[in-house]
Chain A
Amino acid sequence: MPVRPCIHFTPPEGFMNDPNGLVYSNGKWHLFFQWNPTGNQAGNQHWGHAVSKNLYKWKLLPTALAPGDDHGLMFSGSAVIDKTNSSGFFESGFFSRKSVDPEERIVLIYTTHYDNRETQNIAYSLDGGITFIKYKKNPILDIKESQFRDPKVFWHEESRAWIMVVVLAQKYKVLFYHSLNLRDWVKLSEFGSAGVLGYQYECPDFVRLPIEGTDEFRWVLIVSINPGSSINGGSMVQYFIGDFDGQTFTPIDSASRILDCGHDCYATQTFGNAPDGRVISISWASNWNYTNDVPMRMKHRGMFTIPRELTLCYTHLNQETRGLVLRQRPVNLHHLYYPDSLPAPLLLNRVCEFPTVWTSATVFYLAVSIPKSIVLESPMEFLCLTWSTTPDVETSKEYFELGYRFHDGAVYVERGVCSSSWKYPLYPERCTSSVPPSSYEDNYILEIEAVVDHSIIEVYLQGGIMCLTNAYYFKGDEPLQYYYLRVPTGASLAKSGMQPLLNNRPHS
């Protein structure tokens, strides 16, 4: 039975981890990824490649980067569109070569990994992204360090220059570099020793985000940590909010903020050159504590989250303080709605079948309202939304459950497994966290959106100010196809629905 998700990107075979080189070029979204085409565990890193017009239906393209004769591995990095040909790679020249369309001047910036050295390198495409040529004078940046990687490069309009953020992973530093031509880099500043450190920093991303409801923006530095997650071990993504003057990132405070509170969200990257100034991210939906050993029922390991739009918004952190937080929302799910189908409202306190088959995913959304006075009287009651493979939800061995307690905002996710199914000591079956309910008149309100796919469920709470991304690995022969929704006494559904989503797999 297939366990390949329908709307989440997976490689055709082999092992996949970090999304790399996310870039929008000439109407297409390019997705590169860390890929081992010859094995089912991490290693032999290449850059795989896919393109999409809608961020869900992906078409595979040839491998973009492969290790060269020196056997250096193709570690993570980013991509830019060199519209002004600052690098000089795209000129018509003596040989009368046709100039490359400015919107197709893709340059990849990646780390070459050797046992005791990591350097930054570039490659460019003269055919709109089908094939890539490594720059003959690589590396472009070599500071004689063994843990120096994951360059994220973007055009900084105010500087009229390229900016690179890159990590000295095991020194807990994010370094900022500046270049006019993508080849010659000058160091600007460092940021580091901040937030949760874990074992090392990885996969930085740096992006200017609008603050909803205002004309203002802030810069957000995203740093992945692995291992050493505070969320029950393994991999985790945190972010810092601040300002960037072209040289230095200055955080607005010393707070440590977590991008996703599930177990399976890592190496978050944003698309370069996205239209209309949008910021769209994709993360790897797995965890290094167990990814090399998760069950394989297809020929691959590894998957990505769906694309998410990132913004900053002010939210009530508690009764006294409104603070800035990152907000994540699924991108354009309505494009995936089955033609002519209408969302079905969710029913309470009964086992319901939802129209899933192996070839579709489903999005659930609901808003639950409960009087504050009732929460005061019965503080320990939970809202529970359970998805199950069988109709006997209460005794099902293969289920996924989301629970919420309005009294203290406690939330848990449980991915149940049966005794004969995959068990692994580093795979936590339950995680707990907290997010305050919002307040409206005399009621508490909780908003939930859950994208339910095969092997993965992404939960977005309170419009995306908290996300919980968790992969699940059932061994039974049935997909999740029943749900059971129970709310605390006195609570009501303000709105709800479930909507089947079209299969977008490139393979089957």
Chain B
Amino acid sequence: APRHLYVKRYPVIYNASNITEVSNSTTVPPPPFVNTTAPNGTCLGNYNEYLPSGYYNATDRPKIHFTPSSGFMNDPNGLVYTGGVYHMFFQYSPKTLTAGEVHWGHTVSKDLIHWENYPIAIYPDEHENGVLSLPFSGSAVVDVHNSSGLFSNDTIPEERIVLIYTDHWTGVAERQAIAYTTDGGYTFKKYSGNPVLDINSLQFRDPKVIWDFDANRWVMIVAMSQNYGIAFYSSYDLIHWTELSVFSTSGYLGLQYECPGMARVPVEGTDEYKWVLFISINPGAPLGGSVVQYFVGDWNGTNFVPDDGQTRFVDLGKDFYASALYHSSSANADVIGVGWASNWQYTNQAPTQVFRSAMTVARKFTLRDVPQNPMTNLTSLIQTPLNVSLLRDETLFTAPVINSSSSLSGSPITLPSNTAFEFNVTLSINYTEGCTTGYCLGRIIIDSDDPYRLQSISVDVDFAASTLVINRAKAQMGWFNSLFTPSFANDIYIYGNVTLYGIVDNGLLELYVNNGEKTYTNDFFFLQGATPGQISFAAFQGVSFNNVTVTPLKTIWNC
């Protein structure tokens, strides 16, 4: 497909008539919320509770990854950037540690790394006989021109946030609904005319809405989950939707499609863009459980047209799902995504105490031609973690070179307890020193800080086999789940040196290979009380670690 050079355009305003909102008496009233700053030394939790000082210090809680104060969290929803603030909503079951009575939790950030909690944004609806319908996943937009007619001039354009979510009524239907805020995002009202899109289907969910700057209208990307279809709808007012097309039966099918997203992603080093369609699958990932795949192509205003029939995955670890993209009112904003750092195969049993699951750090998405073998480059999604650098503490360790004859090889570097850290390293190989499969490698080991250091995770880059092995077999000693795959042998094409950037937190490793060409997100679970305590870089048979740095990261939590 030809590449397009997009020209920035401004949307045409559609003059929808104002619709007066009528209170929905069947809405479950929220608990009282005090619209005031939390008392000193405390934080606001995700279920409108105040948290005592030190609440987030628990050793099973990640320090730089967003986690809910309590309860169960899954899909990131409604990512929207407006007024200098990034909003993140998420699927949230506040009263249980397993997925259940889902709400939309809400948190905000100025820098995509420090988060401040806001009240629950969407509650379940209560119907006759106390039956609930649940707000499943969706997205958010800023209706700057009030195309929906839901806002008065009292709400400034950049605060006109509209949430689009699936109302899931078990056994009845899945329908798309909207909610809006007139107080900057603290609270949301459901639209009185909900649902705005009902096709009489039980498997119709996860609407992602974007503004099509070329067609000057809203476009919804939504999953017809168990028909393996991604349906596209258009609207001029976020309320009335017209079907455009369906993209179907592509890539891995698994059991169903979920959580679609679409964005115009820049190609690095050029002024060109390609459209990328994201589809999550659960279950049915090749590693088991949940996974996110993507397709590269073009959006012609009506159809998504893929460039090829390739199957591509966003993240090659086992714990990356339901990634969502930030909405912005700017046509040329960076494409930023967040994934849920877990897997439906085992998330409901993960051994954390007060909360379950975390989000990845926010990542910027771009496209790059990446060598796959000596003959072929492929357009691949590149992921760059955002603003982790803001958390850097004093560098703990640097070494220009560690090779097999270096005394530093395999020597442990002590890490501060209960602290996230990052490492940067470039691995190179001198083949003249001999190279045997399975032994010609650089190994990074991260041990726990329990007294006997029995627990660890490791990353091996094997230049002979061209593989990257992530091993977490020793990171489930306190908890066993048959589906928690202990090791991953990933084939990587090594066409030069291999750079690794790793973010290691309590229970979560995010590994970025060759500046984001491949990413691997994997959970790990040390015994209660243990956190990463040591890291070592062991070089074997001709492999060198170059430009090694290890840097602690300050916690994002204020209490």
Q: Which residue of B lies closest to A433 (CB)?
A: B288
Q: How far, in whole Å, are A228 and B372 apart by their CA atoms in the complex?
A: 10
Interface centre among A289, A382, A436 (most CB of B within 10 A): A289
Q: How far is the CB of B387 from chain A (nearest CB, A)?
A: 31
Verify A428–B488 contact, CB threshold 8 A: yes
Q: Identify which of residues 284-310 in chain B touch chain A, using a CB-to-CB cut-off of 8 Å.
A: 284-289, 306, 308-310
Q: How far, in whole Å, are A118 and B319 apart by their CA atoms in the complex?
A: 41
B288 partner residues in chain A, CB cutoff 8 A: 410, 412, 431-434
Verify B311–A195 contact, CB threshold 8 A: yes
Verify A231–B286 contact, CB threshold 8 A: yes
Q: B245-253, B356-364, B405-413: which lies at the A interface?
A: B245-253
Q: How far, in whole Å, are A189 and B256 apart by their CA atoms in the complex?
A: 33
Q: Identify which of residues 251-288 in chain A touch chain B, using a CB-to-CB cut-off of 8 Å.
A: 251, 253-258, 261
Q: Identify which of residues 326-368 in chain A touch chain B, using a CB-to-CB cut-off of 8 Å.
A: none
Partner of A195, one of B226, B310, B349: B310
Residues A317 and B469 in contact in the complex (CB < 8 Å), given A198-B491, A229-B491: no
A497 contacts the other chain (Cβ, under 8 Å)? no
Q: How far, in whole Å, are A220 and B471 apart by their CA atoms in the complex?
A: 36
Q: How far is the CB of B506 from chain A (nearest CB, A)?
A: 24
Verify B372–A426 contact, CB threshold 8 A: no
Verify B249–A255 contact, CB threshold 8 A: yes
Q: B54-62, B140-148, B181-189, B460-468: which lies at the A interface?
A: B460-468
Q: How far is the CB of A27 from chain B (nearest CB, A)?
A: 41
A186 partner residues in chain B, CB cutoff 8 A: none
B373 contacts the other chain (Cβ, under 8 Å)? yes
Partner of A172, one of B228, B376, B493: B376
A234 contacts the other chain (Cβ, under 8 Å)? yes
* Contact code string B199-237 (vs A, CB < 8 Å = 1, else 0): 000010000000000000000000000111000000000
A193 contacts the other chain (Cβ, under 8 Å)? yes
How many chain A residues touch B (CB < 8 A): the figure is: 59
Verify B469–A194 contact, CB threshold 8 A: no
Verify B486–A430 contact, CB threshold 8 A: yes
Q: How far is the CB of B438 from chain A (nearest CB, A)?
A: 6
B308 partner residues in chain A, CB cutoff 8 A: 193-194
Q: Which residue of A lies closest to B307 (CB)?
A: A193
Q: Identify which of residues 469-505 in chain B touch chain A, using a CB-to-CB cut-off of 8 Å.
A: 469, 471, 473, 482-483, 485-491, 493
B549 contacts the other chain (Cβ, under 8 Å)? no
Q: How far is the CB of B313 from chain A (nearest CB, A)?
A: 7
Q: Which residue of A lies closest to B489 (CB)?
A: A233
Residues A429 and B486 in contact in the complex (CB < 8 Å), given A233-B491, A253-B250: yes
A256 partner residues in chain B, CB cutoff 8 A: 251-252, 311
B11 contacts the other chain (Cβ, under 8 Å)? no
Verify B306–A234 contact, CB threshold 8 A: no
Partner of B345, one of A197, A255, A410: A410
Verify B469–A228 contact, CB threshold 8 A: no
Verify B376–A170 contact, CB threshold 8 A: yes
Q: Which residue of A lies closest to B488 (CB)?
A: A232
B287 partner residues in chain A, CB cutoff 8 A: 230-232, 431-432
A101 contacts the other chain (Cβ, under 8 Å)? no
A380 partner residues in chain B, CB cutoff 8 A: 348-349
A319 contacts the other chain (Cβ, under 8 Å)? yes
Residues A227 and B466 in contact in the complex (CB < 8 Å), given A320-B226, A434-B289: yes
A185 contacts the other chain (Cβ, under 8 Å)? no
Residues A408 and B345 in contact in the complex (CB < 8 Å), given A194-B309, A228-B491, A292-B437: yes
Q: How far, in whole Å, are A410 and B346 apart by their CA atoms in the complex?
A: 10
Q: Identify which of residues 349-391 in chain B touch chain A, using a CB-to-CB cut-off of 8 Å.
A: 349, 372-376, 378
A424 contacts the other chain (Cβ, under 8 Å)? yes
Q: How far is the CB of A444 from chain B (nearest CB, A)?
A: 14
* Contact code string B251-265 (vs A, CB < 8 Å = 1, else 0): 111111000000000
Partner of B376, one of A171, A414, A429: A171
Q: How far is the CB of A8 from chain B (nearest CB, A)?
A: 24
Verify A194–B286 contact, CB threshold 8 A: no
Interface centre among A251, A427, A428 (most CB of B within 10 A): A428
Q: Which residue of B lies closest to A432 (CB)?
A: B288
Q: How far is the CB of B161 from chain A (nearest CB, A)?
A: 33
Report the number of A-B residue pairs with Cβ-Cβ less than 8 Å.
170
Q: Which residue of A lies closest to B373 (CB)?
A: A170
Q: Which residue of A lies closest to B471 (CB)?
A: A425
Partner of B438, one of A196, A293, A428: A293
Q: How far, in whole Å, are A229 and B286 apart by their CA atoms in the complex?
A: 9
B227 partner residues in chain A, CB cutoff 8 A: 320-321
Q: Identify which of residues 171-223 in chain A touch chain B, using a CB-to-CB cut-off of 8 Å.
A: 171-172, 193-200
Q: How far is the CB of B289 from chain A (nearest CB, A)?
A: 7
Verify B486–A227 contact, CB threshold 8 A: no
A147 contacts the other chain (Cβ, under 8 Å)? yes
Interface centre among B349, B471, B490 (most CB of A within 10 A): B490
B485 partner residues in chain A, CB cutoff 8 A: 232, 428, 430-432
B375 partner residues in chain A, CB cutoff 8 A: 147, 170-171
Q: How far is the CB of B111 from chain A (nearest CB, A)?
A: 35
Q: How far is the CB of A264 from chain B (nearest CB, A)?
A: 13
Q: How far, in whole Å, are A462 and B467 apart by their CA atoms in the complex?
A: 33
Verify A258–B286 contact, CB threshold 8 A: yes
Interface centre among B252, B256, B483, B486 (most CB of A within 10 A): B483
Q: Identify which of residues 84-142 in chain B touch chain A, using a CB-to-CB cut-off of 8 Å.
A: none
B195 contacts the other chain (Cβ, under 8 Å)? no
Verify A425–B489 contact, CB threshold 8 A: yes
Q: Which residue of B lies closest to A173 (CB)?
A: B376
B344 contacts the other chain (Cβ, under 8 Å)? yes
Q: How far, in whole Å, are A233 and B373 apart by their CA atoms in the complex?
A: 16
Partner of B437, one of A293, A319, A405: A293
B149 contacts the other chain (Cβ, under 8 Å)? no
Verify B283–A408 contact, CB threshold 8 A: yes
Verify A233–B488 contact, CB threshold 8 A: yes
Residues A254 and B250 in contact in the complex (CB < 8 Å), given A196-B311, A197-B372, A434-B289: yes
B344 partner residues in chain A, CB cutoff 8 A: 408
Residues A428 and B489 in contact in the complex (CB < 8 Å), given A171-B375, A380-B349: yes
Residues A425 and B438 in contact in the complex (CB < 8 Å), given A170-B373, A171-B376: yes
Q: A430-B482, A430-B486 are in contact. List 8 more A-B contacts (CB 8 A).
A: A170-B374, A193-B309, A229-B286, A232-B488, A232-B490, A409-B283, A426-B438, A428-B485
Q: List 28 A-B contacts (CB under 8 A).
A: A170-B373, A171-B375, A172-B376, A195-B311, A197-B310, A199-B491, A230-B287, A232-B489, A232-B490, A233-B467, A233-B489, A234-B491, A254-B309, A255-B228, A261-B286, A289-B491, A293-B437, A410-B288, A425-B471, A425-B489, A426-B437, A429-B487, A430-B486, A431-B287, A432-B287, A432-B288, A432-B345, A433-B286
Interface residues of A (CB under 8 A from B): 147, 170-172, 193-200, 227-234, 251, 253-258, 261, 289, 292-293, 317-321, 323, 380, 382, 401, 403, 405, 408-410, 412, 414, 424-434, 436
Interface residues of B (CB under 8 A from A): 203, 226-228, 248-256, 283-289, 306, 308-311, 313, 344-345, 348-349, 372-376, 378, 437-438, 441, 460, 462, 465-467, 469, 471, 473, 482-483, 485-491, 493
Please name the 4 residue pairs, one residue from A and one from B, whose CB atoms are nearest each other, closest first.
A432-B288, A233-B489, A230-B286, A194-B309
